[in-house]
Chains A and B, each alone.
Chain A
Amino acid sequence: MTAQTRNRWWPWAAIVLSLATAFTLAMVSPADDVQGNLVRIMYLHVPAAWLAYLAFLVTFVGSVAYLLTRHFRWDRIAAASAEIGVYFTGLAIVLGMIWAKPTWGVWWTWDARLTLTAIMFFVYLGYLALRRTTDDPIARANRAAVLGVVGAIQIPLVHFSVVWWRTLHQPPSIIRPDGPAIQDSMMLVALIVGVLAFTVVYVSLMVKRIELIHLEDQRDAVERTADQPVAGEAVTAPDLGGPS
């Protein structure tokens, strides 16, 4: 199976798993004793937040790899991942706000996790804005890579904010030293299916976006060189003495 054939399966896998998530969260998972049906938002909010971490971590890895190798493939990976990460961070924030209004009584509270997540969103929005400020691919890749490394400082800050500060946002529910805090197995299944589905959606979007960025780079290269002589200014066409 070639890479191109394999890549064609990702969107289908994403659709199937997304449908499985919708079914599991709506039909299989029970309502929570305290939160009622509101808990179902968590099956989308948690995977979206997980994807934000994953995407920005990939941006960090891509940025470091670009600075070390200067291969544009890494820059494309970092850029694609940052775009997807910004989208999923926004989604996690919006879903969290929808859940918070009936639960906490407010759309927003000055909780460390919430505030730092919003800040992380703006850091990577800045990263995307920076990429649009120059047409030179080398300058763009170099500058974005440096910001991709600096911006990664936010990732541990956001993740450990619920441990370092006494926050309203609950601490980690699954990855904990003493095992998952979720007791109901169906709830855990719904959450794991959601995380899996979102991860496959991420891979699927990454594959497509990297292809697109590659094509955009090729188009930009053609546009940059279209009005320039093929062999540069040093070479002129020979005068063969024909009619001018």
Chain B
Amino acid sequence: MTTGFWQQAKAVSGRDLLRERRRGDVLWITIPFGAIALLLVPLAVGTDAALLREIGPGMYWVIVMLFGVLVAVGKASSETLPQQDASLLLGLDPAAGFVGRSGAATLLLLIFEVVVGVVAVGLYDISIIGIPWLIFTLLTAAIGLALLGTLTGSIVNSTSAGTALVPLLVAPLSVPLLLGATQSYEGLRLGHSIVSWILLMVVVVLVVAIIGVLTARPLQET
């Protein structure tokens, strides 16, 4: 494999998406799981419409963070050691592999966000405001979670704990994204500036992307 960086990333991305199309993990498992979680919350906290409208956006983002990240982690940690060796022998740039896997995970996360979002709007009667900013927030959160999940998946890949360790690693690290996303919506609702929250999310995305690209090789070596 002697193609360029982006072509390699595109090939890895295509492989992950093809695997998802064949197995349907996100479509048939993660999305229904997220929807069920949204259905369970009112049973626990009460079915008062005003209360659900109030907590709905926050619950939506918590579910996106906790369940959505499984999408990225699943893709990153599904590679077996022989597959990794084969990629290495083919000359696949580990950084291109990271970018490719993150790209595929971003797309799947966006689908997850949209479908679960529609369910949340229906169940909690959430009002949709500031559509351009909302789209930007959804996209930034998807990229950030995909990068974080892919990086964490690579870290835990082929360890004895496997994916059991992932929630402990990802949940605390995704807090800046959760804060950025929830506070952006709150800012839009109250008519406040949300630039600082968007900036926080963008900075987190950039930092994780840089760390992921720079550490892809040492992680693949082991």
Q: What is the CA–CA distance of A123 and B222 in the complex, to the nearest angstrom?
A: 22
* Selected interface stretch from A87-95, A143-151, A198-206: A143-151
Q: List 17 A-B contacts (CB under 8 A).
A: A116-B175, A120-B172, A126-B165, A130-B156, A130-B161, A132-B161, A133-B156, A133-B165, A143-B155, A143-B159, A143-B222, A145-B218, A146-B155, A147-B169, A149-B211, A153-B204, A157-B176
- A154 at the B interface (CB under 8 A): yes
* Selected interface stretch from A98-106, A134-142, A189-197, A212-220: A134-142
- B173 at the A interface (CB under 8 A): yes
Q: How far is the CB of A83 from chain B (nearest CB, A)?
A: 16
Residues of A at the B interface (CB closer than 8 Å) are 67, 116, 119-120, 122-123, 125-126, 129-130, 132-134, 136, 138-139, 142-143, 145-147, 149-151, 153-154, 157
User: In the bound complex, do residue A119 and residue B175 qualify as a contact, i.e. CB atoms below 8 Å apart?
Assistant: yes
The interface residues of chain A, by DSSP majority, are classed as: helix
- Complex partner residue of A146 from B161, B168, B211, CB under 8 angstroms: B211
Q: What is the CA–CA distance of A123 and B173 in the complex, to the nearest angstrom?
A: 7
Q: What is the CA–CA distance of A97 and B104 in the complex, to the nearest angstrom?
A: 44
- Complex partner residue of B215 from A67, A132, A133, CB under 8 angstroms: A67
The interface residues of chain B, by DSSP majority, are classed as: helix
Q: What are the interface flags for B23-55 relative to A under an 8 Å C-beta threshold, 1 for contact and 0 otherwise?
A: 000000000000000000000000000000000
Q: What is the CA–CA distance of A142 and B221 in the complex, to the nearest angstrom?
A: 9
Number of B interface residues in the complex (CB < 8 A) = 23
User: In the bound complex, do residue A142 and residue B169 qualify as a contact, i.e. CB atoms below 8 Å apart?
Assistant: no
- B207 at the A interface (CB under 8 A): yes
Q: What are the interface flags for B149-178 relative to A under an 8 Å C-beta threshold, 1 for contact and 0 otherwise?
A: 001000110011100010011011101100
Closest B residue to A112 using CB positions: B179
Q: What is the CA–CA distance of A116 and B161 in the complex, to the nearest angstrom?
A: 26
Which residues of chain A are within 8 angstroms of B171 by Cβ–Cβ distance?
122
User: In the bound complex, do residue A142 and residue B159 qualify as a contact, i.e. CB atoms below 8 Å apart?
Assistant: no
User: In the bound complex, do residue B161 and residue A129 qualify as a contact, i.e. CB atoms below 8 Å apart?
Assistant: yes
Closest A residue to B166 using CB positions: A126
